[in-house]
Amino acid sequence: MRAAGKVYREELSPVRFLERSGDVHAARIAVVDGARTFDYRQWRTRSRRLASGLRREGLRKGDRVAFLALNSEPLLLAHFGVPQAGGVLVAINTRLHPDEIGYIVEHSEARWIFYSPELGERLGRLPSRIPRINTSDELEDLLASGDDGDVEPWLDDEEELIAIDYTSGTTGRPKGVMYTHRGACLNALAMAFEHGLCADSSYLWTLPMFHCNGWTFTWACAAAGARNVCIPRVDPAHVWQVLDQGITHLCAAPTVLTMLANHPAAHRLSRPVRAMTGGAPPSPTLVAQMTDLNFVLEHLYGLTESYGPCTLNVSPPGLERLSLEERARFKARQGVPHILAGRQRVVDDSMRDVPPDGRTMGEVLCRGNTIMRGYFKQPDATAEAFRGGWFHTGDVAVVHPDGSIELRDRMKDIIISGGENISTIEVEQAIAAHPAVLECAVVASPDETWGEVPKAFVTLRPGRTATAEEIIAHCRERIAHFKCPKRVEFGDLPKTSTGKIQKYVLREREWAGREKRVN
C-alpha cells in the first residue's frame, strides 16, 4: 500500500475507508440488513475475517471472486473483504439468464462464486470445478475461519484491479469493464461529496449493488461513516415503510421513483430525502410528484465504463423560481462532470468540438480519473473505445451555453431500459434462433414506464407462422427477461440496395415527432 521510500505517498484504495471508519465511527451503525445490524467496528472485523479466510482458502493476488447476490450485507461486505484479500470482485447482475451467468464466470476466470440461497437455481450452467458458497451459513463458516487482526496489504499499485463489472456490449456478449483501486476510491469520494453524505446519513439500497458496484456508493458510505440500509428487492410498500425510519439518501432509476410516487402508500415525508437518478431524465410529472413527497431529485449520467455517474445536473441560482416545466426542462440535462471525473467533450466526426449552442449534435467523449482501465481480455475493444485518447461513449448530445450536455440520441446499438443496458444484437440473435424467423431487427422504442424498451421487427420464413407472444416466450428461454422484446411487429424490413437492414429507418419511425431519440 505504500510506495517504497516515499513518505508522502500511499496507494489509493477504498479499502482504507472501512479501516478508518472502524476507528473513527466504531460505534456508529454501518449496516442494517433485516434483523442483522453491525456497527463499524464489527463490520471492519468481518471484512478482515473475509479477507484472511479467502487467503486461507488459497486466494492468490488478482484472483477473481464472483458474487451473485441480492442487495445484502454479504454483497456489501465483499466490496471490502475481497479487495482487502488481494482479489478482484465480480458482482453479477441477478436478473441474467443462467447461460449469461455461466459466460461471465468463465470469462472472468472466477475462482469462487458466492450466491444468495434464493438464487442457487441460476448456477446450473456453471462448471462443477468452481466452488459455490452460499451467503448465509457457508459464508459465516468462512468468516469464522478468518482473523480479526490487520490484513497485510498486497496492493503495490493503485491502478491494480479492484472489480470487473460486466455490461452489455454491441457484439452481443457482455464486456468485462475493469475498475481500479484508484478509480473506485476517487469516484466514491466524489459521490460522497456530490450526494452530501456524512456520518449522520442513512442510505437506502434501492439501487442494485451489482450495477457499477452500486455507482460506487458501496464504498462511499463507508468513507462518510454513513449507515447502509439493505433491502433485497424494491417492494414499494416496504420501501415507504423504511423511508419513514430516517432514510436521508438513495439512488434509483426513474422507473423505481415512478413506482414509489404512484404507490398507494406514497405520502409526504417528514424530512427531505436526496434521490440521485439516472438512465433517463426525470419527466416534469415525476419532478412534481417527487417534490411534493419531499424528495430532492439529482439527475446524473454515466456508464459502466465511467464507474457509474460521471456528470451531474447542477442547478443554477434561481432555478426554484421558474415554472415546473422550465425546471424539468433544465433537470433533463445530463450536466457537467462531477468534481473528480475529469473532462468531457461533444465532438463531430473529425473529433472537433461542437459549438455550445444547444443545437449542434455530436458524440460525448470523456477522459480522466474515473474512466475504466479497459475491457478485460479484449484489447481490440479497448483500443476502439479509447481511440484518439478519449473514451467514446456512443451517446449523442448537444452542449448548452453554460457547458452542460444534454443527450439526444445513441450511436451504439444499446437500449437503456429502466437503467439496464440491453444489446440489440444479443436480442436479435435470440429471435433469429426461432425456426419461423427469416430475419429480424431490434431497436429502442419509447416507453412511458421504462423509458425505452426493445421492439422487434420480424420477417417470417415463407409458409411459417408465429405470434408475438411466441417470439417473446422463445427469447425468455434464452436471455434475461428484461432484455426480451416488449413488442413485435411482423413484415418486410427496410434495406439498402446491397441488402443491409436500415435500422435507422425503423428507429425514425418509432421516435417520430420526438425531439430526442433517448427517453
The Cβ-side half-sphere exposure at 85, using a 13 Å CA radius, reads 31
Q: Are residues 400 and 436 in the same domain?
A: no
**Domain around 495:** 422-510
Please compute the mean of the pLDDT values over residues 222-251 and round it to a whole number: 97
Examine residue 385 and state whether it is found in any structural domain, yes or no: yes
CB atoms within 10 A of CB 349: 7
**Residue 64 belongs to a domain:** no
Task: Establish if 384 belongs to a structural domain.
Answer: yes
Q: Tell me the pLDDT band of 173, cut-offs 50, 70 and 90.
A: confident
Q: Residue 279 — pLDDT band, cuts 50, 70, 90?
A: confident
Alpha-carbon 469 to chain mean position: 30
The string of pLDDT tens digits covering residues 330-346 is 888 899 999 999 999 99
Structural domain contains residue 154: no
Whether the per-residue pLDDT at 1 is higher than 60: the answer is no
Q: Is residue 200 part of a domain?
A: no
E strand intervals along 69-189 = 88-91, 110-115, 132-134, 161-167, 175-180
Higher pLDDT, 328 or 12: 12
pLDDT tens, 367-426?
999 999 999 999 999 999 999 999 999 988 899 999 999 888 777 777 888 878 787 878
Instruction: Compute the average pLDDT of residues 13-24.
Output: 98
**Residue after which a domain boundary falls, among 357, 389, 410:** 410
Whether residues 441 and 403 share a domain: the answer is no
Do residue 491 and residue 449 come from a single domain?
yes
Output the pLDDT for position 496: 64
Q: Across residues 146-170, what is the average pLDDT?
A: 93
- The CB density around residue 94, as the number of other CB atoms within 10 Å, is 23
Q: Is it the case that residue 187 has pLDDT exceeding 60? A: yes
Do 472 and 502 reside in the same domain of the chain? yes
Task: State whether 450 and 505 are in the same domain.
Answer: yes
Looking at residue 383, which CATH number applies to its domain? 2.30.38.10
* pLDDT for the residue 219: 98
Report if residue 439 sits inside a domain: yes
3-class DSSP assignment, residue 309: strand
CA separation, residue 151 to residues 90, 128, 129, 155, 300 (Å): 21, 31, 28, 11, 36
Provide the 10 A C-beta neighbour count for residue 6: 8
Instruction: Specify whether 373 is located in the same domain as 402.
Output: yes
Q: Please state, in angstroms and rounded to a whole number, the distance separating the CA atoms of residues 293 and 313.
A: 21
Mean pLDDT, residues 148-174 = 89
pTM: 0.86
DSSP assignment of 444-486, as one string?
A: EEEETTTEEEEEEEEEEPTT----HHHHHHHHHTTS-GGGS-S
Residue 4 scores a pLDDT above 70: no
Asked if 439 and 498 sit in the same domain, the reply is yes
Instruction: Please report which confidence band the pLDDT of residue 81 belongs to, taking 50, 70 and 90 as the band edges.
Output: very high
Q: Which band of pLDDT confidence, cut at 50, 70 and 90, is reported for residue 258?
A: confident
Instruction: State what percent of residues in the chain have pLDDT above 90.
Output: 75
What pLDDT, in 10s, does the model give residues 87-124? 999 999 999 999 999 999 999 999 999 999 999 999 98
**Lowest-confidence region among 5-9, 95-99, 212-216, 410-414:** 410-414
Number of domains in the chain: 2
**Domain harbouring 464, CATH code:** 3.30.300.30
Q: Is residue 145 part of a domain?
A: no
106 belongs to a structural domain:
no
**Separation of alpha carbons 31 and 89, rounded Å:** 20
69: nearest Cα among 13, 136, 168: 136
